[in-house]
Amino acid sequence: MEVVAAQVANLLENAPVAEQLGAKLNRLLYAFMQGDVLPQAERAADMGLDPTPLLVVVSEVLRLYVDALASGSRSIADECLPGVPLR
């Protein structure tokens, strides 16, 4: 986790326009991984279960968001939820 956090911090240093927003997103994702994902993976391992499938699912979901943001495509939420005009 620390390696990923360092890589994200390095990326944000090179993108000053998005630094504040990126830093907040980084903190949220790090907290999600530390608070939700890793404890579940550890519990699975303690019970003798392989936590890899859980980690793969989380990784793939996050990758879907990255790919959607990179391509500029609409998200699943955009397609499923009614649009709210910005004021």
Quick: pLDDT tens for 35-57.
Answer: 999 999 999 999 999 999 999 99
Q: Are 59 and 52 in contact (CB under 8 A)?
A: no
Q: Are 33 and 1 in contact (CB under 8 A)?
A: yes
| Residue 64 identity | L
Q: What is the pTM of this model?
A: 0.57
**Mean pLDDT value across residues 75-81:** 55
Q: Are 55 and 37 in contact (CB under 8 A)?
A: yes
- Residue 87: pLDDT band by 50, 70, 90 thresholds? very low
The answer, yes or no, to whether residue 3 has pLDDT greater than 80, is: no
| Residue 49 identity | L
